[in-house]
Amino acid sequence: MKTTRRHAVLAALATATAGLAAMSGMTAASASAAFIGPLHTVTQLTSTVPANGDVNPYGTAVVPHSTGDLHQGSVLVSNFNDKANVQGTGTTIVQVTPGGTLSLFAQIDPQLHGCPGGVGLTTALVVLRSGWVIVGSLPTRNGSVSGSGCLIVLDSHGMVRETFAGQGINGPWDMTALDQGNYADLFVTNVLNGTVAADGGTVDRGTVLRLVISSSPTASPRLLGVTTIGSGFPEMLNSSALVIGPTGVGLGSNGTLYVADTLSNRIAAIPSAVSRGSDDGTGQTVSQGNHLSGELGLAIAPNGDILTVNGGNGNIVEVTPGGAQVAVRQLDSSGSPPGAGALFGLAVKPGADAVYFVDDATNTLNLFH
C-alpha cells in the first residue's frame, strides 16, 4: 500500500471514529490471560510479491491438508493490486512455507469469464480439506469499481474450475468457512451494495451471506444455497482506499459468527450462523471503540477469543466473546502515523502460540510469536 493510500485509509477511518473513547491501558492480569498476552515478537517471513509484481497482500489462509500443489501448514496469500499498485487488479495467490519459502500457487486470467468486472483478489480466501481454494474478487478498471465481482473456485493445482456470482454476492471482501467434509458453509462479507451509487457517501447496506456448497475432492463444488444472515453494515467508497465496510469474519465454536464492522469500530456477533434462516441485521455488539480502530482482518484464537487487526493504527486486539478487550499489541510501526491501513488478513498458526499476518505496507507475510 502506498503511503498516500494509507493516509487516505486512516483519514476515512478517523472520520468514522470521531467521538469514540480514546485508547486506555490494559491491566497486567488481563493481558497475561489472553492468547496474545505472551506474544511480543514479529518475524518477517518473506516478501509476498510474485514474479509478475503483484502487491498489496490481503487474504491469509493456512493449508489444512496436503493435496496437489497444496502443502499442509503452508500459508496462501492473495494479492489485491497489480505491479502498478492499481487496486482491484491483483490476480495472484502465493504459497509460503512455515520457513518462509515463497512459490506461486495461482495466477488468474484478469478477463476471467463468469466474474463480473474482472479480477481483483480480496481478503476473502479459504482452503478446504478437500483441496478446493476459494477466493473473492472485487475488480476495478482504471481505479474505479468495474463490477460486482465473484467467488473464484480453484483446484489444488491452482487452476480455476468455476465461479460463483450474483445471488447477493456483490464485492466479496472477506470470508471464513465451516469445513464439514463433503459440504462447507462459506460466510462472506459484501461491500458494494449501493456504495458506487453513493459516490463516497456512507450507506448502511453491507451484508453477510452464508453459502452452502458441496466439497467433494472428486467433483467441482456446487452452490447449494445462499442465505443473508447479516445486513445494514455501514460501507463507503473512498477515492484512495477504494472501499471500506464490514471485513473480517470468524466462526466461534458456539456457532456465533463474529464480524469486523469496520466503519463502526465494532465487533458484531451473529448467533446460530450455521443454522439460522433469517437475517440478524447488524447483529449484537460484542465490543466497540476503545482499542478497536477501523478493524479489518479477524480470526478466532484457540481460547475462543476474537483477534482483530486495526486499519487505524497497526495494532492487533484480543476481545473475549463477552466483550472485554484483554490485550493489544502493535504489529506494524512503519509510516506516519504508524501502522495506518497496513493490516488485513491474519490466521492462527496451527499447533503454536503464534499468528500469521500480512502487512501491505511492506508486502510481506509475518509471524507474531
Kindly list the structural domains of the chain, giving each domain's residue range(s) and its CATH number in brackets, ordered by start: 3-368 (2.120.10.30)
d(CA 79, CA 196): 23
- CB 314 within 8 Å of CB 343: yes
Predicted pLDDT of residue 26: 54
Ramachandran assignment for 224, one of left (phi > 0), alpha (psi -120 to 50 degrees), beta (any other): alpha
Q: What is the pLDDT of residue 20?
A: 34
Question: What pLDDT score was predicted for residue 21?
Answer: 33
Helix, strand or coil for residue 30?
helix
Cis peptide before 337 (omega within 30 of 0): yes
Q: What is the pLDDT of residue 94?
A: 98
Quickly count: other Cβ atoms within 10 Å of residue 278's Cβ.
Answer: 9
What is the chain's pLDDT, residue by residue, as a tens digit (369 residues)? 444 444 444 344 443 333 333 333 454 445 558 999 999 999 999 999 999 999 999 999 999 999 999 999 999 999 999 999 999 999 999 999 999 999 999 999 999 999 999 999 999 999 999 999 999 999 999 889 999 999 999 999 999 999 999 999 999 999 999 999 999 999 999 999 999 999 999 999 999 999 999 999 999 999 999 999 999 999 999 877 799 999 999 999 999 999 999 999 999 999 999 999 999 999 999 999 999 999 999 999 999 999 999 999 999 999 999 999 999 999 998 766 778 889 999 999 999 999 999 999 999 999 999
Q: Is 22 exposed, middle or buried (0-12, 13-18, 19+ CB in 10 A)?
A: exposed
Which grid cell is 2? Answer: 502506498
Sign of CA dihedral 115, 120, 125, 129: positive
Q: CB 44: neighbour CB atoms within 10 A?
A: 12
In a 10 Å sphere around its CB, with 0-12 CB exposed, 13-18 middle and 19+ buried, how is residue 324 labelled?
A: middle
